[in-house]
Structure 1
């Protein structure tokens, strides 16, 4: 199960040749993107950043062509941490997984983060870690401080379901064993990280026999934040302005779905689970904040899920739709050096601060 033994498929010379041809086109694509309708109203830096993502996600590359290496998340975390003058703090939690702390290790109030990337890519330093550090610093000013920690999990397709759920459950066991109270634990995830959070909540409600049971909670989690949650594998019917091509969501689903039994499908695709599946969610988590980009592919799926079964079970649910926002709008703003400027980001900061200030 160790991530040290993870290896991506070999890339054929034809795939490498195609990749070279694609990359040669990238500069022209980025320049054209500066004047495209999809980037209307954005700065040149943000337009360039979004254009790169649109280009890469629409090329039809195989998983091996992305060149992900074993231990990629650890390497990214350690480089980023030292660059920002922070201490490298990592907990080995078993199951081939790790928890990486941002700032001080503390167990009185904790935000546990599951990063996005389709469960097949490592954490992104600029977008995800930059966002987490900014949020942590804001909470330092408005609360008594919060410990931030994120999970390093194994990647699909080499490590199939329920590997990532098993690792998320190990993270929860580790934190609770070290004294974290569920009522002071906020679980946050972006895209597939939000999917993984939903998997964990499903495991609490419907224990999956293949893995260890979730630890007894006693009290519900303080809250959950879903940033552009990836909750449906149905090909999007809209989202031409999104920075992830619709077919890229199909690509990520193709890495995750092989080998999953029909009875297990609700764990990985929350939108199809049905209202009955989510009964009791209010006893698992006290409050939920979800965000969706106005023009992202998953917008309609997110709205239906959040305003449907989630809100029915957790009345203290807030949905923030980011105007003209793409997938993970506020995170990609950090990657372009423009993080922390939107109203939606500050709404998330306030919501999170209020949650921790009510923690008991």
Structure 2
């Protein structure tokens, strides 16, 4: 078929964008635009959905693969914050997706599955997080995941795929049954498209499948050596339930793997609140007593006063003193422990759980703030 030769004239040095693209959009930030619109929902497995979000103002998303966002939700009159890893690729900046497993008894995951539909608006904070291959460049990677811990590693895999970079990646995912493997078809497509990308699924049992050619059982060191004989040479990223990640650490320690090339991320902020509840609390009182300086923290609404050491997080000191405060991640990520600081100064080292505008307004996260003076908190 003949085409207009002018379209291919090498003398044309200027390339214009199609008219329908319009002007290059601004980048989205949660400070500039707090609310995103759900534009699509996709059922991944029987109990897992992906929710696609977009900016009503047409802004684009910029993040590192493996990072997370925090949802700020009003459920039954209660404000809840939950962190979810971004599962989409940063190379597709016009939408952002999170992939959520319905957790039995999970207030947020069940609400999302039942209520977040196309057209719904949702408040989002972030992105944030350091669990990303973008900060650990390596010629070869080993991705190990279990359950919905697949999401950050899927974002990394999608990024390399979208950028047409045939990076040497072995992706080993563990699931209960073959029908519980999230993104199975897409991972197979990526593997078919890139010679250096290999997948392996390890399922506890066959389930309803009549034919399953994959591995059944659990990930072990002999199995890992069989799947990835050169795993000792790879940069390893792991995400999944706490028992799974402990098992991975144990088998890598047994093999003598260098810990500086091992990176892990908690897979579920829905359950992190329970897991982190005792954090610092058992010895927080002793720690406060041994501090070089101790400051008074006054909770204005509850009329409580506690002592907090200069190197102690305010949330840890409050827990040790029996003061009940809302919290979730305890790592400065989710924003659940955000409060107004009426007076005093703190040193806050957060991980994305608070907006700069909120900091300017005097808000702080108690879980990652240490006192620099006596404090009065609006709580």
TM-score normalised by structure 1 residue count: 0.30
User: Which structure carries more relative contact order (alpha carbon 8 Å, separation 6+)?
Assistant: 1
Whichever structure has more strand as a proportion of its residues is 2
* Structure showing greater Rg: 2
TM-score normalised by structure 2 residue count: 0.29
